[in-house]
Structure 1
Protein backbone atom coordinates (compact mmCIF):
# COMPACT_ATOMS: atom_id res chain seq x y z
CA UNK A 1 0.00 0.00 0.00
CA UNK A 2 2.85 2.38 0.77
CA UNK A 3 4.28 1.66 -2.66
CA UNK A 4 0.97 2.55 -4.31
CA UNK A 5 0.69 5.79 -2.31
CA UNK A 6 4.25 6.81 -3.18
CA UNK A 7 3.60 6.19 -6.86
CA UNK A 8 0.40 8.24 -6.69
CA UNK A 9 2.17 11.14 -4.95
CA UNK A 10 4.96 11.10 -7.55
CA UNK A 11 2.41 11.08 -10.39
CA UNK A 12 0.47 14.04 -8.98
CA UNK A 13 3.40 16.16 -7.83
CA UNK A 14 6.36 14.93 -9.81
CA UNK A 15 4.60 14.87 -13.16
CA UNK A 16 3.66 18.54 -12.74
CA UNK A 17 7.29 19.40 -12.15
CA UNK A 18 8.65 17.37 -15.04
CA UNK A 19 11.51 19.65 -15.88
CA UNK A 20 9.19 22.64 -15.61
CA UNK A 21 8.07 22.08 -19.21
CA UNK A 22 5.13 24.38 -20.07
CA UNK A 23 2.09 23.11 -21.99
CA UNK A 24 2.85 22.90 -25.71
CA UNK A 25 0.11 25.34 -26.75
CA UNK A 26 0.79 27.96 -24.10
CA UNK A 27 2.75 31.14 -24.82
CA UNK A 28 5.82 29.87 -23.01
CA UNK A 29 5.36 26.52 -24.74
CA UNK A 30 5.41 28.17 -28.17
CA UNK A 31 8.21 30.64 -27.49
CA UNK A 32 10.61 29.08 -25.04
CA UNK A 33 13.61 30.85 -23.59
CA UNK A 34 15.86 29.21 -26.17
CA UNK A 35 13.65 30.34 -29.05
CA UNK A 36 13.47 33.87 -27.61
CA UNK A 37 17.25 33.99 -27.48
CA UNK A 38 17.56 32.69 -31.04
CA UNK A 39 15.07 35.24 -32.35
CA UNK A 40 16.73 38.16 -30.57
CA UNK A 41 20.18 36.73 -31.04
CA UNK A 42 22.27 39.87 -30.73
CA UNK A 43 20.17 41.95 -28.33
CA UNK A 44 22.85 41.65 -25.66
CA UNK A 45 25.74 42.38 -27.99
CA UNK A 46 28.27 44.84 -26.56
CA UNK A 47 27.35 47.28 -29.33
CA UNK A 48 23.67 47.38 -28.32
CA UNK A 49 22.67 50.14 -25.87
CA UNK A 50 19.83 47.95 -24.53
CA UNK A 51 22.07 44.98 -23.73
CA UNK A 52 20.95 43.17 -20.60
CA UNK A 53 17.54 44.87 -20.52
CA UNK A 54 15.06 42.82 -22.53
CA UNK A 55 14.74 39.41 -20.89
CA UNK A 56 12.58 36.39 -21.61
CA UNK A 57 11.23 36.32 -18.07
CA UNK A 58 10.17 39.97 -18.32
CA UNK A 59 8.34 39.26 -21.57
CA UNK A 60 6.48 36.25 -20.16
CA UNK A 61 5.57 38.13 -16.98
CA UNK A 62 4.26 41.10 -18.96
CA UNK A 63 2.24 38.86 -21.26
CA UNK A 64 0.35 37.45 -18.28
CA UNK A 65 -1.52 40.78 -18.19
CA UNK A 66 -2.68 40.20 -21.79
CA UNK A 67 -3.93 36.60 -21.80
CA UNK A 68 -5.29 36.74 -25.37
CA UNK A 69 -1.83 37.46 -26.77
CA UNK A 70 -0.35 34.39 -28.42
CA UNK A 71 -3.39 32.40 -27.29
CA UNK A 72 -5.98 33.21 -29.97
CA UNK A 73 -6.80 30.76 -32.75
CA UNK A 74 -5.03 27.58 -33.74
CA UNK A 75 -1.35 26.93 -33.11
CA UNK A 76 -0.30 28.38 -36.49
CA UNK A 77 -2.23 31.60 -35.80
CA UNK A 78 -0.64 31.89 -32.37
CA UNK A 79 2.83 31.44 -33.80
CA UNK A 80 2.19 34.04 -36.49
CA UNK A 81 1.03 36.55 -33.92
CA UNK A 82 4.17 36.06 -31.85
CA UNK A 83 6.32 36.37 -34.98
CA UNK A 84 4.41 39.50 -36.00
CA UNK A 85 4.76 41.18 -32.60
CA UNK A 86 8.48 40.55 -32.48
CA UNK A 87 8.86 41.41 -36.16
CA UNK A 88 7.35 44.84 -35.67
CA UNK A 89 9.07 45.61 -32.37
CA UNK A 90 12.40 44.36 -33.67
CA UNK A 91 12.17 46.81 -36.56
CA UNK A 92 11.53 49.62 -34.09
CA UNK A 93 14.56 48.67 -31.98
CA UNK A 94 16.91 47.25 -34.61
CA UNK A 95 20.65 47.64 -34.52
CA UNK A 96 21.21 45.60 -37.66
CA UNK A 97 22.72 46.48 -41.02
CA UNK A 98 22.93 44.66 -44.33
CA UNK A 99 26.25 42.92 -43.65
CA UNK A 100 25.68 42.38 -39.92
CA UNK A 101 26.74 39.03 -38.42
CA UNK A 102 23.88 36.53 -38.86
CA UNK A 103 22.11 39.06 -41.09
CA UNK A 104 20.22 42.28 -40.37
CA UNK A 105 17.23 40.48 -38.88
CA UNK A 106 19.12 38.97 -35.95
CA UNK A 107 19.62 42.38 -34.33
CA UNK A 108 16.21 43.28 -32.94
CA UNK A 109 15.86 44.79 -29.46
CA UNK A 110 19.23 46.51 -29.64
CA UNK A 111 17.79 49.84 -28.44
CA UNK A 112 15.40 50.87 -25.70
CA UNK A 113 15.59 54.68 -26.00
CA UNK A 114 15.09 56.91 -29.00
CA UNK A 115 18.32 58.53 -30.11
CA UNK A 116 18.50 62.35 -30.14
CA UNK A 117 14.96 62.71 -28.77
CA UNK A 118 12.78 65.76 -28.29
CA UNK A 119 10.23 66.25 -25.49
CA UNK A 120 7.14 64.92 -27.32
CA UNK A 121 4.81 66.99 -25.15
CA UNK A 122 1.43 67.91 -26.64
CA UNK A 123 -1.06 70.14 -24.77
CA UNK A 124 -3.63 67.91 -23.09
CA UNK A 125 -6.07 68.46 -20.25
CA UNK A 126 -6.53 64.73 -19.76
CA UNK A 127 -2.86 63.77 -19.93
CA UNK A 128 -0.88 66.91 -19.09
CA UNK A 129 2.88 66.78 -19.29
CA UNK A 130 4.73 66.67 -16.01
CA UNK A 131 7.29 69.48 -15.75
CA UNK A 132 10.77 68.21 -16.43
CA UNK A 133 9.61 64.92 -17.95
CA UNK A 134 10.09 63.86 -21.56
CA UNK A 135 7.91 61.49 -23.51
CA UNK A 136 10.24 60.36 -26.27
CA UNK A 137 10.36 56.86 -27.72
CA UNK A 138 11.07 54.12 -25.21
CA UNK A 139 10.67 50.36 -25.13
CA UNK A 140 9.89 47.76 -27.80
CA UNK A 141 7.37 49.98 -29.59
CA UNK A 142 9.16 53.25 -28.84
CA UNK A 143 6.18 54.63 -26.91
CA UNK A 144 5.99 58.38 -27.57
CA UNK A 145 3.96 61.46 -26.56
CA UNK A 146 2.40 62.29 -23.21
CA UNK A 147 -1.09 61.07 -24.11
CA UNK A 148 0.26 57.64 -25.04
CA UNK A 149 2.20 57.41 -21.79
CA UNK A 150 -1.00 58.45 -20.01
CA UNK A 151 -3.23 55.93 -21.76
CA UNK A 152 -0.83 53.02 -21.48
CA UNK A 153 -0.09 53.84 -17.85
CA UNK A 154 -3.79 53.78 -17.01
CA UNK A 155 -4.17 50.44 -18.76
CA UNK A 156 -1.31 48.73 -16.93
CA UNK A 157 -1.75 50.51 -13.59
CA UNK A 158 1.45 52.56 -13.59
CA UNK A 159 1.78 56.36 -13.44
CA UNK A 160 3.82 56.79 -16.59
CA UNK A 161 2.96 60.47 -16.96
CA UNK A 162 5.00 61.20 -13.86
CA UNK A 163 7.42 58.32 -14.31
CA UNK A 164 8.01 57.86 -18.06
CA UNK A 165 11.55 56.60 -17.46
CA UNK A 166 10.08 53.34 -16.12
CA UNK A 167 9.50 52.26 -19.72
CA UNK A 168 13.26 52.16 -20.17
CA UNK A 169 14.25 51.02 -16.68
CA UNK A 170 11.73 48.27 -15.85
CA UNK A 171 11.64 45.56 -18.52
CA UNK A 172 8.27 44.17 -17.44
CA UNK A 173 6.66 47.61 -17.71
CA UNK A 174 8.43 48.13 -21.01
CA UNK A 175 6.99 44.94 -22.49
CA UNK A 176 3.57 45.76 -21.04
CA UNK A 177 3.44 49.07 -22.90
CA UNK A 178 4.30 47.27 -26.14
CA UNK A 179 1.67 44.61 -25.58
CA UNK A 180 -0.85 47.29 -24.65
CA UNK A 181 -0.25 48.99 -27.98
CA UNK A 182 -0.47 45.66 -29.81
CA UNK A 183 -3.76 44.65 -28.20
CA UNK A 184 -5.51 48.05 -28.28
CA UNK A 185 -7.73 49.16 -31.15
CA UNK A 186 -7.94 52.85 -32.01
CA UNK A 187 -10.77 53.68 -34.40
CA UNK A 188 -10.77 53.47 -37.36
CA UNK A 189 -7.86 51.08 -36.93
CA UNK A 190 -8.29 47.60 -35.50
CA UNK A 191 -5.76 46.29 -33.03
CA UNK A 192 -2.66 44.60 -34.38
CA UNK A 193 -3.80 41.52 -32.46
CA UNK A 194 -7.10 41.36 -34.33
CA UNK A 195 -5.48 42.11 -37.70
CA UNK A 196 -3.01 39.22 -37.46
CA UNK A 197 -5.28 36.64 -35.82
CA UNK A 198 -8.19 37.10 -38.25
CA UNK A 199 -10.56 38.54 -35.66
CA UNK A 200 -10.83 41.76 -37.67
CA UNK A 201 -13.41 41.82 -40.45
CA UNK A 202 -12.55 44.59 -42.94
CA UNK A 203 -15.33 46.96 -43.91
CA UNK A 204 -16.21 47.54 -47.54
CA UNK A 205 -14.10 50.71 -47.36
CA UNK A 206 -11.16 48.72 -45.99
CA UNK A 207 -11.46 46.15 -48.74
CA UNK A 208 -11.66 48.84 -51.40
CA UNK A 209 -8.50 50.37 -49.93
CA UNK A 210 -6.70 47.02 -50.08
CA UNK A 211 -6.62 46.66 -46.30
CA UNK A 212 -6.92 42.97 -45.52
CA UNK A 213 -6.04 40.84 -42.47
CA UNK A 214 -2.41 39.80 -42.26
CA UNK A 215 1.02 41.11 -41.35
CA UNK A 216 0.76 43.98 -43.82
CA UNK A 217 -2.23 45.34 -41.93
CA UNK A 218 -0.20 45.52 -38.72
CA UNK A 219 2.38 47.64 -40.53
CA UNK A 220 -0.44 49.88 -41.75
CA UNK A 221 -1.76 50.24 -38.21
CA UNK A 222 1.68 51.14 -36.89
CA UNK A 223 3.05 53.44 -39.57
CA UNK A 224 0.82 53.30 -42.61
CA UNK A 225 0.97 57.01 -43.27
CA UNK A 226 4.67 56.80 -44.04
CA UNK A 227 5.17 53.27 -45.31
CA UNK A 228 2.02 51.96 -46.99
CA UNK A 229 0.53 52.54 -50.41
CA UNK A 230 3.91 52.85 -52.05
CA UNK A 231 6.11 50.37 -53.85
CA UNK A 232 8.78 48.54 -51.88
CA UNK A 233 9.27 50.95 -49.00
CA UNK A 234 12.52 49.89 -47.32
CA UNK A 235 11.11 50.32 -43.81
CA UNK A 236 8.09 48.15 -44.53
CA UNK A 237 10.40 45.64 -46.19
CA UNK A 238 12.55 45.53 -43.07
CA UNK A 239 9.48 44.69 -41.01
CA UNK A 240 8.66 41.80 -43.35
CA UNK A 241 12.24 40.54 -43.15
CA UNK A 242 12.08 40.26 -39.36
CA UNK A 243 8.68 38.60 -39.53
CA UNK A 244 9.80 35.97 -42.02
CA UNK A 245 12.86 35.10 -39.95
CA UNK A 246 10.76 34.64 -36.84
CA UNK A 247 8.15 32.56 -38.66
CA UNK A 248 10.97 30.34 -39.90
CA UNK A 249 12.31 29.92 -36.37
CA UNK A 250 8.83 29.12 -35.04
CA UNK A 251 8.16 26.73 -37.92
CA UNK A 252 5.03 28.38 -39.30
CA UNK A 253 3.98 29.59 -42.74
CA UNK A 254 3.91 33.34 -43.31
CA UNK A 255 0.24 33.63 -44.23
CA UNK A 256 -1.24 36.07 -46.74
CA UNK A 257 -0.96 39.84 -47.25
CA UNK A 258 2.55 40.29 -45.86
CA UNK A 259 3.16 43.83 -47.09
CA UNK A 260 1.11 47.00 -47.33
CA UNK A 261 2.40 48.18 -50.71
CA UNK A 262 -1.09 48.19 -52.20
CA UNK A 263 -2.89 49.32 -49.04
CA UNK A 264 -4.03 52.86 -48.50
CA UNK A 265 -3.25 54.05 -44.97
CA UNK A 266 -5.93 53.94 -42.29
CA UNK A 267 -5.14 57.57 -41.60
CA UNK A 268 -2.20 59.89 -41.18
CA UNK A 269 -1.57 62.61 -38.61
CA UNK A 270 0.82 65.41 -39.54
CA UNK A 271 2.13 65.20 -35.98
CA UNK A 272 3.79 61.88 -36.73
CA UNK A 273 7.47 62.24 -37.49
CA UNK A 274 9.68 59.65 -39.09
CA UNK A 275 10.97 56.77 -37.04
CA UNK A 276 11.44 55.76 -34.33
CA UNK A 277 8.51 57.67 -32.82
CA UNK A 278 5.90 56.09 -35.06
CA UNK A 279 3.75 53.79 -32.97
CA UNK A 280 1.28 56.32 -31.74
CA UNK A 281 -2.32 56.31 -30.60
CA UNK A 282 -4.04 59.66 -30.82
CA UNK A 283 -6.99 60.78 -28.73
CA UNK A 284 -10.18 60.42 -30.74
Structure 2
Protein backbone atom coordinates (compact mmCIF):
# COMPACT_ATOMS: atom_id res chain seq x y z
CA UNK A 1 0.00 0.00 0.00
CA UNK A 2 1.39 3.47 -0.87
CA UNK A 3 2.78 5.42 2.08
CA UNK A 4 0.24 8.21 1.57
CA UNK A 5 -2.66 5.75 1.89
CA UNK A 6 -1.14 4.23 5.06
CA UNK A 7 -0.56 7.66 6.56
CA UNK A 8 -4.08 8.83 5.70
CA UNK A 9 -5.74 5.75 7.23
CA UNK A 10 -3.80 6.03 10.50
CA UNK A 11 -4.26 9.79 10.65
CA UNK A 12 -8.02 9.35 10.57
CA UNK A 13 -7.77 7.38 13.82
CA UNK A 14 -5.10 9.53 15.45
CA UNK A 15 -6.95 12.84 15.22
CA UNK A 16 -9.85 11.83 17.51
CA UNK A 17 -7.39 9.99 19.80
CA UNK A 18 -5.55 13.16 20.88
CA UNK A 19 -6.04 13.63 24.60
CA UNK A 20 -6.77 9.92 25.05
CA UNK A 21 -4.54 7.32 26.74
CA UNK A 22 -4.38 5.30 23.51
CA UNK A 23 -2.74 8.11 21.53
CA UNK A 24 0.95 7.21 22.13
CA UNK A 25 0.48 3.57 21.10
CA UNK A 26 -1.55 4.57 18.05
CA UNK A 27 1.13 7.06 17.05
CA UNK A 28 3.84 4.39 17.28
CA UNK A 29 1.67 1.99 15.26
CA UNK A 30 1.41 4.58 12.48
CA UNK A 31 5.16 5.21 12.43
CA UNK A 32 5.86 1.46 12.35
CA UNK A 33 3.47 1.07 9.42
CA UNK A 34 5.39 3.71 7.49
CA UNK A 35 8.98 2.88 8.45
CA UNK A 36 10.20 -0.57 9.59
CA UNK A 37 11.68 -0.24 13.09
CA UNK A 38 12.54 -2.73 15.82
CA UNK A 39 12.04 -0.49 18.83
CA UNK A 40 10.17 2.68 19.77
CA UNK A 41 9.69 4.94 22.76
CA UNK A 42 7.94 8.22 23.53
CA UNK A 43 9.15 10.41 26.40
CA UNK A 44 7.35 13.60 27.41
CA UNK A 45 9.29 16.32 29.22
CA UNK A 46 6.93 18.74 31.01
CA UNK A 47 8.00 22.33 31.63
CA UNK A 48 9.50 21.81 35.09
CA UNK A 49 9.09 18.14 35.97
CA UNK A 50 11.02 14.95 35.36
CA UNK A 51 10.38 12.98 32.16
CA UNK A 52 7.22 10.93 31.76
CA UNK A 53 7.57 7.71 29.78
CA UNK A 54 4.45 7.57 27.61
CA UNK A 55 5.44 4.54 25.52
CA UNK A 56 8.35 2.17 26.02
CA UNK A 57 9.33 -1.34 24.97
CA UNK A 58 11.12 -2.71 28.00
CA UNK A 59 14.66 -4.11 27.75
CA UNK A 60 15.96 -6.27 30.56
CA UNK A 61 19.74 -6.40 30.94
CA UNK A 62 22.22 -7.93 33.35
CA UNK A 63 22.25 -4.59 35.17
CA UNK A 64 18.48 -4.26 35.33
CA UNK A 65 16.03 -2.19 33.33
CA UNK A 66 17.57 0.36 31.01
CA UNK A 67 14.51 2.53 31.66
CA UNK A 68 15.33 2.52 35.36
CA UNK A 69 18.84 3.81 34.64
CA UNK A 70 17.46 6.46 32.30
CA UNK A 71 14.86 7.71 34.77
CA UNK A 72 17.40 7.98 37.61
CA UNK A 73 18.88 11.01 35.89
CA UNK A 74 20.88 9.60 32.98
CA UNK A 75 18.52 11.44 30.61
CA UNK A 76 20.49 14.62 31.44
CA UNK A 77 23.30 13.27 29.25
CA UNK A 78 21.11 12.20 26.33
CA UNK A 79 21.97 13.94 23.02
CA UNK A 80 18.27 14.32 22.14
CA UNK A 81 17.52 15.90 25.51
CA UNK A 82 20.47 18.27 25.19
CA UNK A 83 19.51 19.22 21.64
CA UNK A 84 16.04 20.27 22.81
CA UNK A 85 16.95 21.97 26.11
CA UNK A 86 20.38 23.43 25.47
CA UNK A 87 20.35 24.04 21.72
CA UNK A 88 16.59 24.43 21.12
CA UNK A 89 16.75 22.11 18.11
CA UNK A 90 13.48 20.55 16.98
CA UNK A 91 12.64 18.32 14.05
CA UNK A 92 13.77 14.85 12.94
CA UNK A 93 17.33 13.80 13.77
CA UNK A 94 19.50 10.72 13.76
CA UNK A 95 21.52 10.07 16.91
CA UNK A 96 24.78 10.47 15.00
CA UNK A 97 23.76 14.01 14.01
CA UNK A 98 23.42 15.13 17.63
CA UNK A 99 26.03 13.14 19.57
CA UNK A 100 29.59 14.38 20.19
CA UNK A 101 32.72 12.70 18.91
CA UNK A 102 33.55 9.77 21.15
CA UNK A 103 29.94 9.33 22.30
CA UNK A 104 29.91 5.60 21.51
CA UNK A 105 32.75 5.14 23.98
CA UNK A 106 30.84 6.91 26.77
CA UNK A 107 29.34 4.98 29.65
CA UNK A 108 25.98 6.60 28.94
CA UNK A 109 25.95 5.14 25.43
CA UNK A 110 26.93 1.71 26.72
CA UNK A 111 24.31 1.80 29.47
CA UNK A 112 21.43 3.10 27.38
CA UNK A 113 21.79 2.75 23.61
CA UNK A 114 23.98 -0.35 23.41
CA UNK A 115 21.96 -2.21 26.03
CA UNK A 116 18.87 -1.44 23.96
CA UNK A 117 20.64 -3.07 21.03
CA UNK A 118 20.42 0.00 18.79
CA UNK A 119 22.40 0.05 15.56
CA UNK A 120 20.74 3.29 14.44
CA UNK A 121 18.19 5.69 15.90
CA UNK A 122 16.05 8.36 14.33
CA UNK A 123 13.85 10.54 16.50
CA UNK A 124 11.39 13.40 16.57
CA UNK A 125 11.91 16.37 18.89
CA UNK A 126 8.67 18.35 19.19
CA UNK A 127 8.13 21.39 21.45
CA UNK A 128 4.88 21.39 23.45
CA UNK A 129 5.44 24.63 25.41
CA UNK A 130 8.22 27.09 26.20
CA UNK A 131 10.36 24.44 27.92
CA UNK A 132 8.30 21.28 27.44
CA UNK A 133 8.83 18.85 24.59
CA UNK A 134 8.30 15.30 23.35
CA UNK A 135 10.97 12.90 22.11
CA UNK A 136 9.76 10.07 19.86
CA UNK A 137 12.60 7.60 19.34
CA UNK A 138 12.64 4.94 16.62
CA UNK A 139 15.40 2.33 16.68
CA UNK A 140 16.80 -0.38 14.44
CA UNK A 141 18.53 -3.25 16.19
CA UNK A 142 19.39 -5.70 13.42
CA UNK A 143 23.11 -6.05 12.65
CA UNK A 144 24.34 -3.17 10.48
CA UNK A 145 20.79 -1.85 10.11
CA UNK A 146 20.35 1.86 9.44
CA UNK A 147 17.64 4.26 8.34
CA UNK A 148 17.66 4.68 4.58
CA UNK A 149 17.52 8.04 2.88
CA UNK A 150 13.96 7.28 1.76
CA UNK A 151 12.87 6.44 5.31
CA UNK A 152 14.45 9.60 6.72
CA UNK A 153 12.79 11.69 4.00
CA UNK A 154 9.41 10.14 4.80
CA UNK A 155 9.77 10.95 8.51
CA UNK A 156 10.72 14.50 7.60
CA UNK A 157 7.69 14.80 5.31
CA UNK A 158 5.20 13.74 7.99
CA UNK A 159 6.88 15.76 10.75
CA UNK A 160 4.52 18.79 10.52
CA UNK A 161 1.43 16.59 11.00
CA UNK A 162 3.04 14.53 13.77
CA UNK A 163 4.14 17.73 15.55
CA UNK A 164 0.65 19.26 15.37
CA UNK A 165 -0.95 16.12 16.79
CA UNK A 166 1.63 15.82 19.60
CA UNK A 167 1.28 19.47 20.56
CA UNK A 168 -2.48 19.08 20.77
CA UNK A 169 -2.19 15.90 22.84
CA UNK A 170 0.54 16.94 25.30
CA UNK A 171 -0.23 20.63 25.68
CA UNK A 172 -3.01 19.55 28.06
CA UNK A 173 -0.47 17.75 30.28
CA UNK A 174 1.92 20.61 30.99
CA UNK A 175 0.56 21.30 34.46
CA UNK A 176 1.36 24.31 36.63
CA UNK A 177 4.49 26.44 36.23
CA UNK A 178 4.50 27.05 39.97
CA UNK A 179 6.54 25.07 42.49
CA UNK A 180 9.98 23.47 42.27
CA UNK A 181 11.66 23.25 38.87
CA UNK A 182 12.98 19.71 39.19
CA UNK A 183 14.74 19.63 35.84
CA UNK A 184 16.56 22.89 36.60
CA UNK A 185 17.72 21.39 39.90
CA UNK A 186 19.14 18.37 38.09
CA UNK A 187 20.92 20.58 35.58
CA UNK A 188 22.50 22.45 38.48
CA UNK A 189 23.56 19.18 40.10
CA UNK A 190 25.22 17.99 36.91
CA UNK A 191 27.06 21.27 36.36
CA UNK A 192 28.31 21.28 39.97
CA UNK A 193 29.21 17.58 40.18
CA UNK A 194 32.68 17.16 41.68
CA UNK A 195 33.22 20.89 42.24
CA UNK A 196 33.67 20.46 46.01
CA UNK A 197 36.75 18.28 45.42
CA UNK A 198 38.09 19.39 42.04
CA UNK A 199 39.55 22.52 40.53
CA UNK A 200 37.35 24.52 38.15
CA UNK A 201 39.16 23.09 35.11
CA UNK A 202 38.97 19.52 36.40
CA UNK A 203 35.22 19.97 36.96
CA UNK A 204 34.81 21.20 33.38
CA UNK A 205 36.75 18.23 32.01
CA UNK A 206 34.73 15.71 34.03
CA UNK A 207 31.45 17.29 32.92
CA UNK A 208 32.43 16.97 29.26
CA UNK A 209 33.61 13.38 29.78
CA UNK A 210 30.23 12.49 31.28
CA UNK A 211 28.54 13.97 28.18
CA UNK A 212 30.52 11.60 25.96
CA UNK A 213 33.14 13.95 24.53
CA UNK A 214 36.44 12.47 23.40
CA UNK A 215 39.78 13.75 24.65
CA UNK A 216 40.17 15.73 21.43
CA UNK A 217 36.77 17.44 21.60
CA UNK A 218 37.29 18.27 25.29
CA UNK A 219 40.59 19.85 24.34
CA UNK A 220 38.96 21.80 21.51
CA UNK A 221 36.10 23.04 23.67
CA UNK A 222 38.38 24.18 26.49
CA UNK A 223 41.18 25.43 24.20
CA UNK A 224 43.82 23.29 25.91
CA UNK A 225 46.05 20.46 24.70
CA UNK A 226 45.02 16.81 24.71
CA UNK A 227 47.85 16.05 27.15
CA UNK A 228 46.49 18.69 29.54
CA UNK A 229 43.02 17.12 29.27
CA UNK A 230 44.48 13.71 30.16
CA UNK A 231 46.32 15.22 33.13
CA UNK A 232 43.18 16.96 34.45
CA UNK A 233 41.18 13.76 34.02
CA UNK A 234 43.83 11.70 35.82
CA UNK A 235 43.89 14.13 38.76
CA UNK A 236 40.07 14.28 38.89
CA UNK A 237 39.75 10.47 38.87
CA UNK A 238 42.26 10.24 41.73
CA UNK A 239 40.42 12.84 43.82
CA UNK A 240 37.05 11.19 43.16
CA UNK A 241 38.55 7.73 43.81
CA UNK A 242 37.37 6.30 40.51
CA UNK A 243 39.45 4.53 37.89
CA UNK A 244 37.21 4.56 34.82
CA UNK A 245 34.48 6.44 33.03
CA UNK A 246 32.05 3.72 34.13
CA UNK A 247 32.82 4.35 37.80
CA UNK A 248 32.55 8.11 37.23
CA UNK A 249 29.14 7.70 35.58
CA UNK A 250 27.72 5.62 38.44
CA UNK A 251 29.22 7.90 41.08
CA UNK A 252 27.33 10.78 39.47
CA UNK A 253 24.07 8.79 39.35
CA UNK A 254 24.43 7.49 42.91
CA UNK A 255 25.18 10.92 44.35
CA UNK A 256 22.29 12.45 42.40
CA UNK A 257 19.78 9.87 43.55
CA UNK A 258 21.00 10.07 47.14
CA UNK A 259 20.47 13.83 47.34
CA UNK A 260 17.64 14.73 49.70
CA UNK A 261 15.96 18.13 49.45
CA UNK A 262 18.64 19.28 47.01
CA UNK A 263 19.17 23.05 47.25
CA UNK A 264 22.22 23.47 45.03
CA UNK A 265 25.92 22.74 44.93
CA UNK A 266 27.85 19.51 44.54
CA UNK A 267 25.82 16.40 45.38
CA UNK A 268 29.05 14.70 46.51
CA UNK A 269 29.17 16.86 49.65
CA UNK A 270 26.26 15.03 51.27
CA UNK A 271 26.99 11.73 49.49
CA UNK A 272 30.51 11.40 50.96
CA UNK A 273 29.56 12.44 54.48
CA UNK A 274 29.70 9.57 56.97
CA UNK A 275 26.28 8.59 58.31
CA UNK A 276 25.28 10.34 61.52
CA UNK A 277 25.66 8.25 64.64
CA UNK A 278 22.44 7.39 66.39
CA UNK A 279 21.94 8.91 69.80
CA UNK A 280 21.69 6.36 72.57
* More helix by percentage: 2
* More strand by percentage: 2
Give the TM-score normalised by the residue count of structure 2.
0.28
Give the TM-score normalised by the residue count of structure 1.
0.28
